[in-house]
Structure 1
C-alpha cells in the first residue's frame, strides 16, 4: 500500500479505532522485540488506552482510503509535576504502508499539537538494534542521548534500549502548565495542526 495514490488523512483517534490500531500493533508484540509488551492487548484494552490518553495527550491515526494504516500518540514521561513539559512518543505503521511517509506525517502532526499544548521536549525509547527506527528518528531531528545495555529481557534475549530527544520549543524561564488535549480541542483549530503532517503525506 502506498499513500502516493488515493486519499490519505490524519485525524484524532477515537475508541472506535481500537480494532485496526490493535491489528497494527499486535505483530510488534507477537513476532519481534520492538516493544517489550510480549502479548498484544485485547481490542477493548486498546480502546481504553486511546480514551484515557486523549484526556491529556494526542492520539492520532492516519487513514488511507478510509483504512487506518498507522497511528502515533504521546504519553506522560513521568508522573511528577516537574516533568509535565516532556512527553514520550510512540508510532506504529502497518507493514504494507511503511516507507510511504506515514510515520513522518503522524509525527509532524503530533509535534505541532504538542507544541501548541506547551510541551517543550519529546522523547522516544527504542529497543536495539533497530536500524530502520534509528534512521527514522535521525531524519526527524531526534538526538540519541544514551544507550542502556541489556536493559530488558524479551523474546529470549537481553535487549539494549536507546533514548532519543527532540526539542519542540524553547523552554521559558517560567513555563505555564501545559494545556490538556481535551481542552485544546475545545479552544483551538486542531485540524490546522494535523494538516502539518498531511502535507508530508502528499509530497
Structure 2
C-alpha cells in the first residue's frame, strides 16, 4: 500500500475536504460547540481570515486530506497579540495513527517562529484523547469554564490548557504573519 504522506499549508481549495472532516464533529459530538453545519463558502471565509496571519496545515496521504490543524487569534484586545488558540481535527477513520501529533509538531514550530509566546487549547472536558495529546505537547491545565456550553441535551465544561513557547522575561516584538517566515 502506498502511504505517501505530506503536511502542507492549506489552501482555500482544500475547504471542502477540510469541512468534510469537521462536519461530523458538529453533528455528532460536543467537541465543537458549533450546532449547525455551515455552507462551505462560510468555512472557506473562516480559513481565509486565519491564513492572513496564522498557519492552517493539512495532513495528506495519497492526495486525500486526513486531518488539519491551525492556530487563530486568541482574543481581540492588543495585549493578547502574543497568544493564539490551536485546534486539530482528524477524519474519524484515521484516529490514533499519529496524524494529530505530526500536525501539532509542525504547527507549534511555525507559531514559535512567528513570535507567539503562548498557545491555548480549549477542550470539552470529557475529551480524554485530546487532553492526553495536549499534555504530550507540554500543555498544562490552567482552568475550567464550568457548564459553559449546552449541546446534545447537556451542559459541558470547557478545559483551558496552555503551552508556553518563550519565557516572559522581556518585551516582545509583534509576531510575524505566517507569510513572513519560511515553512
TM-score range, shorter chain: over 0.9
Write the deviation string for residues 95-126 of structure 1: whole angstroms up to 9, x where unpaired.
11111111011111111110110001100001
Tell me the C-alpha RMSD between the 2 structures.
1.3
Instruction: Name the counterpart of 1:135.
Output: 132
Q: In the alignment, what sits opposite 2:77? A: 80
Pair 1:29 & 2:22 matched: no
**If the length of structure 1 is used for normalisation, what is the TM-score?**
0.86
TM-score by length of 2: 0.96
Q: How far off its partner does 1:169 sit?
A: 2.0
SS in 2 for 1:173: coil
Q: Deviations 1:112-166 (Å, cap 9, x if unpaired)?
A: 1101100011000011211111111111211011122211111111111100001
* 1:117 counterpart = 2:114: yes
CA distance in 1, matches of 2:7, 2:177: 20
What secondary structure is seen at the aligned counterpart in 1 of 2:158? strand
Runs of 4+ in 1 over 4 A off after TM superposition: none
Tell me the matched-pair count: 183
Q: Is the 8 A contact 2:115 2:176 kept in 1?
A: yes
Inter-partner Cα distance in structure 1 for 2:148 and 2:182: 41
What SS does the aligned partner of 2:23 have? helix
Unaligned 5+ runs, structure 2: none
* Aligned-partner Cα distance in 2 for 1:18–1:180: 21
Q: Would you say the 8 A contact 1:25–1:40 is kept in 2?
A: no
Aligned partner of 2:96 in structure 1 is 99
Q: Any unmatched runs of 5+ in structure 1?
A: 191-203
Q: Which protein, 1 or 2, shows the higher relative CO under an 8 Å CA cutoff with sep ≥ 6?
A: 1
Is the 8 Å Cα contact of residues 2 and 62 (structure 2) preserved in structure 1?
no
- 1:172 CA drift (Å): 4.5
Contact 1:58 1:74 in 2 (8 A): yes
CA distance in 1, matches of 2:53, 2:169: 21
Of residues 62, 68, 72 in structure 1, which corresponds to 2:59?
62
CA distance in structure 1 between the aligned counterparts of 2:7 and 2:77, rounded to whole angstroms: 31
